[in-house]
Structure 1
Amino acid sequence: MNSNSSFVAADEIRARFSHAMSAMYRQEVPQYGTLVDLVADINTRTLNAEPALHAQLARADELDRLDVERHGAIRVGTAAELATLRRLFAVMGMEPVGYYDLSVAGVPVHSTAFRPVSDAALLSNPFRVFTSLLRLELITDAALRQKAADILARRNIFTPRALELISQCEAEGGLSAAHADDFVREALETFRWHNTATVDAQTYRALQASHRLVADVVCFRGPHINHLTPRTLDIDAAQAAMPARGMDAKDVVEGPPRRDCPILLRQTSFKALQETVRFTDDEGAHTARFGEIEQRGVALTRKGRALYDALLTEVRDMSNAGSAAPDYTQRLEQAFRAFPDDHGALQAQGLAFYRYSLTAIGHVQARAADAEVSLQPLLAKGWVQADPITYEDFLPVSAAGIFQSNLGGEEQKQYQANAAQQAFEAALGAQVHDEIALYEAAQQRSIDQLRAQLRSAAAAA
């Protein structure tokens, strides 16, 4: 993005868009507002009850982002729609991170997450949109597959003005304040709910029989945002409190079990609303939009992620019902006893990513420290502290579990593992970032900065 002072920063455009989308979704789905209020209450109570957590978030400058943090999800049907979304999100400083094959969990899509990638941009506003592309090749009925392709080919999910502003930003390197406001307003239309379908009831039912998500993607004028997600500091408390606030919570929290040191991502939601829709020849109902809550923990290294994936596979292989099994939570907790639940152990064993910095004592002792010594002695002396790097991304099995629970619950299609990252990136028009490489780089930047401070202190001695 051009540094021209007349342009609005991409971070600011992202913040405006996130705020506008939250306001729109609160109006469209009033229970979302209840969800946001619930999360705010729980976060306040948690911070008051856990001063160490409060201090950790304050050191990492993450307190301010809690209230504004959201992620959304959208599903598109064609390569052209996905590629244009990439350009739209680029205006807001959001890049595609990660590749997720949800077909292995019975959902006929593959996905990426558009989000900011720099440390500063994430602290400014960590808005993310989990974006899925329908895999028409997984529709086994050839005639129905072609019909879905024809329906998708006839629609345009972007306003003409939004497309103009995207092209203008690309050509000029940014948008003025007035054009940024126009962009937010026009881009929002792509994510708006429409209760009128573009197909007749019979076509809708045929696509729904193939998979409920196929009908959701194909049968409407636009992809519509299907949920927005605030971040909580205690998802179990949120899950327990949802029914008292009139929300029909899903049965289990997706992701790792409750831990003293949260890892990766835990998610739950209230079940999708059944909404009246008008087909071209009739009136009916459609279930798609819901409210979700997430709790984020420390990002795992490749070694840590391999252990996580192995333990999760072990649990899910015990029953074909996956997280729907009655004893799933107990089995999950038992299996994850093999995963260290202490930040010191996670750091020492190379299972998670941390940012390293001098403590107050470390600043005093910096002149006596060896800049080239390993981190462990400095940590042991209390001269250096390790703060967990927040996981900013998603988990394919958890995402599929949320999707399934909000598609009627009984949807359990089975597909062969069929990752197709190259095909996805061809549709996207770009390569996706390796999310673990981003965390590795963030950790290394903190180590480099720490060692530079120690060398500078030694030179001044």
Structure 2
Amino acid sequence: MQAQYVHPDDIRSQFSQAMSAMYRAEVPQYGTLLELVADSNADVLAQNAGLQALLERRGETGRLNIEYHGAIRLGTAAELSGMRRVFAVMGMQPVGYYDLSVAGVPVHATAFRPIDDAALKRNPFRIFTSLLRLELIEDAALRAEAEQILAARQIFTPGALALLDAHDLQGGLTKEQATQFVEQVLETFRWHQQATVSDAQYQHLHDAHRLIADVVSFRGPHINHLTPRTLDIDAVQAGMPLRGIVPKAVIEGPPRRACPILLRQTSFKALQETVLFSGADGQTVQGQHTARFGEVEQRGAALTPQGRQRYDELLNAARSHVPATNTPAYTKALQDIFKDLPDDWDAMREQGLAYFRYSATPAGLAAQAAPAGSIGELLASGLLQCDPILYEDFLPVSAAGIFQSNLGGPAGAAYATRSNRDQFAEALGQQPHDELALYASAELASLQQALSDLGLHQDAAALLQS
């Protein structure tokens, strides 16, 4: 009898639930944040029946009050390649390439996530995964020391590696193996108070960059934050101090809008935690390390290349006009400058600024024969409807802002070395998926299906381009 293997989506759900329980135990303040977000979401939905209906139509209500993403930081190409294998077991593929070095953070990254609609609806959990760029450490001796420290560690347990091999050989994991896999892999993400370096080594790494110290000084890539999704990030930002949580000063990303776009993020300040360093004569030396925090995200529509260009231009204009450290002035500048981006779904669709998912309406399905026409005509006639496609990815400037806020100190200057996607892909073992291509494909497929449901034989691609 052929073995029954657990669906990758179910393994991902087991893993995300286990990760959440572990992180709440390690960082109790994160549990308070989850409660705040759940309360806020309930309030928003109680006051907005239209939003409730939209979320139900898009299949998002079931995945609202669960963690949407976490983040880890890796040190070597071998660790990134191994993590790709781990996440593949959970149905998570690398999507997007993010260069944070241009914002003074010496990493580049991808997001491991589900890529098809059905998997996203079952469980959207993803991990933003950064790889340290050791070549950006200017001190050659320190760079060599960091390489040596990282080369000596193995971030995966023997049990996890054995189960990865079993998965590859079998083509899946049995129920018992899946449970063991989650338990073994969780050890990679667990916090360890004992550092793998001396206090002097830690200080040298810390002086080069706080993030370098976080990546190199420990036995593995402890999860540094988890992130629930809120429907009103401004309310959560205001509510954090009322529950004894200190938020970062500025919400990263676009301003508040009637038609939310892309991704807005905030977090509470990273905890200062006691760390034990190796000292002389086998003695341990107590010190402090700051790395782990709780984050909140609010997601909006995925923007097309034209929309992203407009967004980047407006964001850069706001950031050059007023420093983000001047919170009230920056917030006002952001609101004022973003008035140049339409805040109306019809206008955004007509100008090709956002991606939409199309479907036939009940009236359209009931019609004997729908008249052929443009997308606008079909929408106006009530035969076709569209909803913005949710942005499932990340923003490099926002990610850098979160990193810098929680690593402490001012934002660093950009590194001289810029994007190196080929180097990252080589370490990963494949090219990351193009997130914009995924959204474009989803939009096209939805329109073609809607036209078919309406009994029309028009070409969806031609309609989208007209």
TM bucket normalised to smaller = over 0.9
Match of 1:293 in 2: 296
1:160-190 Cα shifts (integer Å, max 9, x gaps): 1101111111111100000000000000000
Match of 2:426 in 1: 426
For 2:206, what is the secondary structure of its paired residue? helix
Match of 1:227 in 2: 225
Match of 2:462 in 1: none
Cα distance in 1 for residues equivalent to 2:328 and 2:66: 35
Identical positions, percent:
60
**310, 315, 328: which one aligns with 1:312:** 315
1:29-51 Cα shifts (integer Å, max 9, x gaps): 00111011100000000011111
Match of 1:336 in 2: 338
Does the CA-based 8 Å contact 2:3-2:174 persist in structure 1? no
**Unmatched 5+ stretches in structure 2:** 280-284, 459-466
State the AA in 2 paired with 1:23: A
Match of 1:247 in 2: 245
Does the CA-based 8 Å contact 2:250-2:327 persist in structure 1? no
Does the CA-based 8 Å contact 1:200-1:280 persist in structure 2? yes
**131, 151, 162: which one aligns with 1:164:** 162
**150, 157, 174: which one aligns with 2:148:** 150
**Unmatched 5+ stretches in structure 1:** none
With over 3 angstroms needed to count, the CA separation of the structure-2 counterparts of 1:85 and 1:324, relative to structure 1, is farther
For 1:284, what is the secondary structure of its paired residue? strand
With over 3 angstroms needed to count, the CA separation of the structure-2 counterparts of 1:287 and 1:324, relative to structure 1, is farther
**302, 305, 326: which one aligns with 1:302:** 305
Match of 1:442 in 2: 442
**272, 275, 293: which one aligns with 1:277:** 275
State the AA in 2 paired with 1:82: L
Cα distance in 2 for residues equivalent to 1:316 and 1:132: 24
RMSD: 1.4
How far 1:417 sits from its partner (Å)? Answer: 5.6
1:9-38 Cα shifts (integer Å, max 9, x gaps): 000000000000000000000011101110
Cα distance in 2 for residues equivalent to 1:5 and 1:333: 57
Q: Report how many residues are paired.
A: 452
Match of 1:120 in 2: 118
How far 1:361 sits from its partner (Å)? Answer: 2.1
**139, 142, 152: which one aligns with 2:137:** 139
With over 3 angstroms needed to count, the CA separation of the structure-2 counterparts of 1:323 and 1:426, relative to structure 1, is farther
Q: Report 1:61-460 matches (<5 A).
A: 61-281=59-279, 282-319=285-322, 321-322=323-324, 327-365=329-367, 367-371=368-372, 373-416=373-416, 418-455=418-455
1:71-90 Cα shifts (integer Å, max 9, x gaps): 00000000000000000000
Does the CA-based 8 Å contact 2:249-2:327 persist in structure 1? no
Q: Report 1:45-64 matches (<5 A).
A: 45-64=43-62
1:97-121 Cα shifts (integer Å, max 9, x gaps): 0000000111000000000001100
How far 1:457 sits from its partner (Å)? Answer: 11
Does the CA-based 8 Å contact 1:254-1:323 persist in structure 2? no
Cα distance in 2 for residues equivalent to 1:356 and 1:149: 50
Does the CA-based 8 Å contact 1:69-1:125 persist in structure 2? no
Does the CA-based 8 Å contact 2:134-2:143 persist in structure 1? yes
With over 3 angstroms needed to count, the CA separation of the structure-2 counterparts of 1:383 and 1:69, relative to structure 1, is farther
1:263-297 Cα shifts (integer Å, max 9, x gaps): 00000000000000000011100000000000000
Does the CA-based 8 Å contact 1:211-1:413 persist in structure 2? no
Cα distance in 2 for residues equivalent to 1:363 and 1:67: 33
Cα distance in 1 for residues equivalent to 2:325 and 2:49: 33
State the AA in 1 paired with 2:393: D
Normalized against structure 1, the TM-score is what? 0.96
How far 1:350 sits from its partner (Å)? Answer: 0.8
Does the CA-based 8 Å contact 1:34-1:245 persist in structure 2? yes
For 1:327, what is the secondary structure of its paired residue? helix
Does the CA-based 8 Å contact 1:323-1:401 persist in structure 2? no
Does the CA-based 8 Å contact 2:360-2:454 persist in structure 1? no
With over 3 angstroms needed to count, the CA separation of the structure-2 counterparts of 1:8 and 1:343, relative to structure 1, is same
1:114-171 Cα shifts (integer Å, max 9, x gaps): 0000110000000010000000011000000000000000000000110111111111
1:369-396 Cα shifts (integer Å, max 9, x gaps): 135x321101112221111111000000
Higher alpha-carbon deviation: 269-278 or 305-314: 305-314
Cα distance in 2 for residues equivalent to 1:325 and 1:204: 33
For 1:197, what is the secondary structure of its paired residue? strand
